Each structure stands twice: as structure tokens, then as C-alpha cells.
Chains A and B, each alone.
Chain A
Amino acid sequence: MSFRNKIFLIFLATVLASVSLVAYGVTHYTESAFEQEDSQRTEALVAQFKKEFDQRGEMVVQQVENITNADVTVRMVLDLARPNADSSLYLHDANGAAQTHNLDFVEFVNSDGALISSAQYPARVGYKNDWVTASKNWDGTPAFLKREELPDGVALSLTAVRTQTVGDKVVYVIGGRRLDQNFLASLVLPAGMRALLYRNLDQGFVASALTDANGPVSQADQFQPLIEQVQKQSTPEMLVKTIQWTSDPASAETFHARPLTGRHNELLGVLLLGSPQRELVLLRRQILKTAAVVALAAIFIGLLLAWWVSKRITRPVEELANGARDVASGRWDTHIDVQGKDEIGELAAAFNHMTNTLAAQKEKLVQTERVAAWRELARRLAHELRNPLFPMQITLENLQRARNLGPSQFNEVFAEGTATLKAELANLNSIVGRFSDFSKMPAPQFTRVNVNETLRNAVRLFEPQFNAVGKPAITTEYFLTESLPEIDADPDLLHRAFQNLVLNALDAMPAGGTLTLRTSDRDDTVRIEVSDTGKGLTPEECSRLFTPYYTTKQLGTGLGLAIVQSVISDHHGTISVSSEEGRGATFRIDLPKRQQNASVKPKPEAPAAVPETDRAPAATD
């Protein structure tokens, strides 16, 4: 994956993560804020309802006080205060008081707790209501919830008790309002809210005990878990539960269940205040939709930004890479035109400085090497020329001295001298020829070449020397990859290079040994290895081995391996040597299979035979 793609993906991932995080955070925060607001609104509504409920209790108290202080009640108490008073005369008074003061339940209770009159259950008149007489201070007591026994069952009432006292006579006035659907309907509820009442008058959950202002509640079973949870509470606390009526979340309704307890903290009912969640759900949907649209837009913008930023960042880097590639290909004076004062700009400036320095140093190095090469050439040439010149000078001096000898002796010396001069002149001619050959290395003419065949041909020229009489034997071992593909190469130059390597190996094994030849296929290149089992090379010798005119031999010119390196270099290949002293040396050549930007001639019909010049060993060292 390219650097631009990496930056693009990283930037895009960063944008996506940021947008997602922001979208989630904003959505979550907004939802929480709205939920909190809704919760506060609901709590306010619940508080408003509680206030309304308490006001109803105060109204009941007021109505009971009105009954208590009514003239008819005072007269009744006065009458009952008389000895042998007949309380049965007031059997129906409670009913009249209930109708007059608009109460559902009214009862008068005598000092001894006996029921004087009852509007809701006259059949119980005469029975004792001990719970009333158990408390001595009713006048300051607010309204409370009470389980009301009725002829046709049990009801829940909001009840207040007051007393009317005349002398020692005390009559208790009990009044209340029935908590049923009519009571719920009479409550002033906040908009969008509804109240339900569960009368907890039987064990467990009874669906028919749940009512709202319109009567029995449909799907009352949905409230069973909430009601049972309230029933299990040790201390009455308000519980909250959301009920989803249909599969649509907008149908959800949140209910605050407020336990209604009696005077002794017994659970008599549960008031359920329902607040619809439709608006909140729709608002949440709108928030999510908006967040999704914004996130998509942000992602799209992020894509564009990522593409622009990655391009802006990687363009100087690509120019640097191209510059480095140019330097690697030999254009040392490469200059990168990158503006800016950031790190990339500094890197480009450093690169330009580096290439300038490299170019200068290269020029200096070339000049130094050129001088050194000329010096080495002069030294080697002087050395090579001095060897034949000295015998020639001696021969000439002998010839001068031989003028004074007799004719027969002169002729003998003359013949011997001229032969020597002729041999030395031939030697001089050979030396000049070798130098001339090295200076005239031709440019390679590429064609398809079978490397194995070329290597075998090069070795075959030296086979007579491997088993020459009087010389230690040299064994050859081949490890050639037969499936090696043909490569683009100059067969003559390659043959000459292989010849020089084989000859070098022979020279390295004066006491005999094994010459190993190996080829292998390595992706885009082929590898040729020539190994000997000679005395090996030192690291210093290895490092200088391919320097022209450097030799470790007594009679070498130092041009053999230089020619090899020149040929391999002209084929855009590499050559290296590895050696351990005493264990021989291995020359390793890697040649590209295909030559880029070079014309390759078609392979001749008949395989090239061994060149005429190579019929005999003609390697140079």
C-alpha cells in the first residue's frame, strides 16, 4: 500500500472516528438532556397532581368540618347528650348530610364508637367503629385513605374525621369521597397526562381493580409487574416504568406509580400517572436522523479533505523518492523543487544539499581515481616494459662487444642476440597488445544467451590443462540448473568473462583441486558461481581484487578480473567474491534476465560455437 493511501486511510479513519464520536456524543448528550427535561416535566406534573390530590383531601376535610359544624349536627349532639337519648332517630341523617355536602361517605359515630348513622352502609348502624375512638385528636388530622366496607363490596375512600363536642358528649363525623373513575375524572390533570388508580383491596394483582377516568383499563395486565413491584415494597416509594403498548416505540407511556397508603402505612392503592413518550421518541428519531445526515456530510467532506491532505503531504515525499531514485541511477546532480519551511521542506533542502555534496565529492573522487589510475598504469607499464628492455639492452651490449670477436663467434652471438631481441620485441608487442585490448573493450551486443552452454564452452577450453601430464589434476563439478532461462547478454563478452574466472581459478590451484560451477534461477536474475579450492584471499585482497592492474600473481597484469567486472557491469549485473583464507574463493555473478532499454538481436539459428579467438585459452590476468 502506498504512503498516500496509508495517509488517506489514516486521515479518513480519524475523520470517521471523530465524526462518529462527536455524533454519538451529541446524540447521547441531546437525548440525555431531553430525557432529563422530560423527567423534570413529569416530576413537575406528578407534583402538580399530588398538589391536586392534596387539595381534594383538604376539600374533604373542609366538607366534613362543614357537616360537623352544621346546626343539625350540633342539635343532634345536644340531643344525644341527654340521658336516655334515642340515637335511632338520626338513622338517616348521614345520608342527608352526604347529599347536602356532596360526599360519597358520611357516618356519625357515638362516643362509645357505635355507629349512629351511615350514608353508605346503614345496615351497620349500631356496630362499633373502634378505630375512630382510638384516636383522641382528629381535628388536626388531614384526610387519609381508608378501606371502606360497603354492602356490595369494598371501596377506597379519601376520608377525614372531625368531632363535635357538647359537654361530655362527643360525636365523630366521618366523611369521604370514593376514589374511583369519577374521582379521577374530576381531577384537573396536566395536558397529555392521564391518571390511573389501582385499588389494592385484594391479594395479588386484580386487573378489574385498575381504572382510569373512563372506566376499566384495557391491557391492564401490562401493569401487573409494576403493581406487584409496588406491593412487594417494604417502604412505599414511587416507581417508574415505561410500557410500550404496540410495536411502535412512539406508543410508549411512562408511568409513575405512587403508592397510596392508609393511616397505618398499609398499601391501599396505587396511583399511576402516565406520561406519553410519543414526543420524546419522535424527537429522538429526529435527532438521530439529523445526526446521521450531519455525519454523512462530515464523512463526505472528510473524504475530500483526506484526499487533498494526503496528496498535499505525499507530493513532496514522492518528489524526494523520485530524486533518490535519480541519485541511485547515477544522476547525482538531482535537485528537488519543494517549497515550504516545514519538516518536508527541510528534508528537501537537506536532500538537495546532499546531492550537491555527493556530486562534488564524486567529481573529486573521479579526479583522484583518474590520477591514481594513471599512476598505476604508468607504474605497471614501466614495470612491464622494463622486463623485456633489460635483456634487450644486454643483448645489444653483447652484440657491440662481439664486433671484436671472430666471424664465427660473432655470427653465433649475432644469431643468439637477434633471437633474443626478436623474442623480447614479441614480448613487448604482446604487452602492448594486452593493454590495447583492455582499452578497446567493445560495447555488448545483446542477444538471447544460454548461460549454462556458455559456461560449459568456457570451461571446455581449459580441460586439457586440468589433466596435463606433470601437473596436479583439477576436477570439475557442475551444479547447473537446466531450466535456467535464456538471458539478454553478449555471448562473446560473457564467454571472455567466464574464461577469465576459470583461468583465475586455475591459477589459484597450483597444487590441484576442485573447480565448482553452479547456476541458479533467482526471480529477475540468474546467478553464476565459480569456486575453487585454492589458498583463498584475505579481506584486503577481496576488496581490491577488481581494481585494474591489481594482481597477486608474479606474472599477472591485473586486468583479468577488471575485464570480468567491466563485462558484468556492461550487462547491468553485479559480481562479488567471498573467500576464507585456506578454503578457496567463490566468485558470484548476478545477471539480469532482461536488459531494459537495450536492443536485443534475435538468437542465431545455430548456436554459437566457441569463438575462434577462444579456441585456445586467451584469458588475461
Chain B
Amino acid sequence: MANVLLQRQALPATALLPQWLSGYAFLLGTPMNLDRAKQIRSDLPANIAGGTDPLRLRVDAVGDLMKLLGERVAVNARQANISIQLVSHSAPSSAGANTPAPTVGLHLFAWRYDSLSPRAELLDFARYLHSESGSESLPDTPDPEKLYAEERRLLDGRQVLPLLLLPDYVGIAPGVRNWSVSPSGEWRLADVWLDSGEPSASTAESPQSRNAAAGVHP
């Protein structure tokens, strides 16, 4: 998904918060095990989890990319004998204001990191997931161990599965040349140059980049 569909412009996500934000994301990785997935599916009754009727996956973001990612989720799930069907989403979605429809079993959404505070992001995640019980004890100052425990608690709830981390481009003026961003969202400004024949940089929009995570919310 990251290497092919997003053409190496994204990173596989293993945690809710990216490594550059929390510093412990590498501890939360879970290796992919297709056989184990098939085994779990076969142990479940056929009438749930896409055995007989497909699970409905709602894609919130507007655009072909999110739809493509949703289809990829369906293709991957099919490897584990789980049938997933995409449903269109009529209302425009925005981060932090998502309310899953009751008839939809899966929800593919993009999470925009608006803050550089891991605590604030985790609290937002918890609120989004309607799980704020543990988040009340988080200290005002960042405590990596408590943040790790809270994130572990959220992930173990199996309500959200982080899929990708990808940069968010806002806009680039036509005169900006050779501008790129690293997978972690870092601008590679050393290689950027301005075309002298084009309008000055003052006319260009300020490029903004934020990291966003796409995940599946069951």
C-alpha cells in the first residue's frame, strides 16, 4: 500500500502516533501473519466478520486515493477470507468530526496531526474512539511511559488499526522547482530552487506540510 499505491510517498504505520512525534512507535509494531488471520477467521462463525455477507467499509475522504486505499484494504482482507465491500459516503468528512454510521462495520479515515504534543493527539484519538477513561490520568507534561501505556491500551482495544503515515501537501507555487518532502514530512529544502522566469516566491502559497495517518476504525 505504501510502496506501490502511494509510490513510496508514505510509511507503514504501526502506532497511532508517528515515531517522530512519540519516539516509541517502533515498540508497537506487529508483524503481518496471513495464516494466523485465516485461522482466526475460520474460528469465527460464518455470519460475522465478512464470512457470508461482506463487511461494509465506509471511506470518509473525498478523492480517488482514499477509495483506492479502501479497495486495497478489501483486497488484503480477501486474502484472509474476509469479504469487504466499499460504500460511498455522501457527507464530506473532516478529521475529528467523524461519526461512524451504525450500519457500517469499517471506517477508513485520515487523521491529521494538528499538534506537536503527543498527549494532545492521544487525547483526541481517545475522544474520537469514545475511550477517555485512561486518558484522564495523563500528566500535563509528556511522560513517554504513560503515553506508551495509553497508546497501547487504545491499540489493544482493536478499535483502530493504523495503516499509513503520509505527508500532507497544501500547495506549491509554479516557480518552485525540485521541491520534495521526506516520508516523515521533512521538507528537503536543500534541493529546492526557484525558476527566475516565474513570479517570485512571494506570490506562491506557503507550503505547509503535516503528517497524517490513515487508519481503519472498526
Contact (Cβ within 8 A) A121 B71? yes
State whether the Cβ of B8 lies closer than 8 Å to any Cβ in chain A: yes
State whether the Cβ of B216 lies closer than 8 Å to any Cβ in chain A: no
Given contacts A151-B71, A151-B74, A151-B86, A123 and B7 within 8 Å (CB-CB): no
State whether the Cβ of B75 lies closer than 8 Å to any Cβ in chain A: yes
State whether the Cβ of A512 lies closer than 8 Å to any Cβ in chain B: no
Contact (Cβ within 8 A) B71 A91? no
Contact (Cβ within 8 A) A88 B71? no
Contact (Cβ within 8 A) A123 B8? no
| Minimal beta-carbon separation of A73 from chain B (angstroms) | 19
8 A Cβ contacts from B50-90 to A: 68-72, 74-75, 86
Say which residue of A89, A124, A127, A152 sits within 8 Å of B7 (CB atoms). Answer: A89
Given contacts A122-B68, A151-B86, A127 and B5 within 8 Å (CB-CB): no
* A125 and B7 alpha carbons, distance in the complex (Å): 11
State whether the Cβ of A126 lies closer than 8 Å to any Cβ in chain B: yes
Contact (Cβ within 8 A) A126 B4? yes
State whether the Cβ of A86 lies closer than 8 Å to any Cβ in chain B: yes
Considering the complex, give the chain A residue whose CB is closest to the CB of B85: A152
* B3, B7, B69 interface centre (most CB from chain A within 10 Å): B7
| Minimal beta-carbon separation of B179 from chain A (angstroms) | 18
8 A Cβ contacts from A74-99 to B: 86-89, 91
8 A Cβ contacts from A141-178 to B: 151-152
* A122 and B7 alpha carbons, distance in the complex (Å): 12
Size category of the binding interface on chain A: 10 to 19
Contact with B along A117-132 (1 / 0, CB 8 A): 0000111111100000
Contact (Cβ within 8 A) A88 B3? yes
* A123 and B4 alpha carbons, distance in the complex (Å): 9
Residues in A whose Cβ lies below 8 Å from that of B5: 88, 91, 122-123, 125-126
Considering the complex, give the chain B residue whose CB is closest to the CB of A117: B4
Contact (Cβ within 8 A) A123 B74? yes
Considering the complex, give the chain B residue whose CB is closest to the CB of A89: B7
Contact with A along B6-45 (1 / 0, CB 8 A): 0110000000000000000000000000000000000000
* A124 and B75 alpha carbons, distance in the complex (Å): 7
Residues in B whose Cβ lies below 8 Å from that of A89: 7
* A121 and B3 alpha carbons, distance in the complex (Å): 17
Residues in B whose Cβ lies below 8 Å from that of A91: 4-5, 7
| Minimal beta-carbon separation of A86 from chain B (angstroms) | 7
* B3, B4, B7, B70 interface centre (most CB from chain A within 10 Å): B4
Residues in A whose Cβ lies below 8 Å from that of B7: 86, 88-89, 91
* A125 and B75 alpha carbons, distance in the complex (Å): 10
Residues in A whose Cβ lies below 8 Å from that of B71: 121-123, 151
Residues in B whose Cβ lies below 8 Å from that of A126: 3-5
Residues in A whose Cβ lies below 8 Å from that of B74: 123, 151
Considering the complex, give the chain A residue whose CB is closest to the CB of B8: A88
Residues in B whose Cβ lies below 8 Å from that of A125: 4-5
Contact (Cβ within 8 A) A87 B4? yes
Contact (Cβ within 8 A) A88 B4? yes
Residues in A whose Cβ lies below 8 Å from that of B3: 88, 126
Considering the complex, give the chain B residue whose CB is closest to the CB of A124: B75
* A87 and B8 alpha carbons, distance in the complex (Å): 11
| Minimal beta-carbon separation of A153 from chain B (angstroms) | 10
* A124 and B5 alpha carbons, distance in the complex (Å): 9
Considering the complex, give the chain A residue whose CB is closest to the CB of B69: A123
* A123 and B64 alpha carbons, distance in the complex (Å): 11
* A89 and B69 alpha carbons, distance in the complex (Å): 17
| Minimal beta-carbon separation of A202 from chain B (angstroms) | 15
Residues in B whose Cβ lies below 8 Å from that of A151: 71, 74, 86
Residues in B whose Cβ lies below 8 Å from that of A121: 71
Query: Could you write out 13 A-B pairs with CB less than 8 Å apart?
Result: A86-B7, A88-B3, A91-B5, A91-B7, A122-B5, A122-B71, A123-B68, A123-B70, A123-B71, A123-B74, A125-B5, A126-B5, A151-B71
Q: Please name 12 further chain A to chain B contacts, defined as beta carbons within 8 Å, in addition to the given A123-B69, A123-B70, sorted by A numbering.
A: A86-B8, A88-B5, A88-B8, A122-B68, A122-B71, A123-B5, A123-B71, A123-B72, A123-B74, A123-B75, A151-B71, A151-B86
Binding site for A on B (CB under 8 A): 3-5, 7-8, 68-72, 74-75, 86
What are the nearest 4 A-B pairs in CB distance? A123-B71, A123-B72, A88-B7, A126-B4
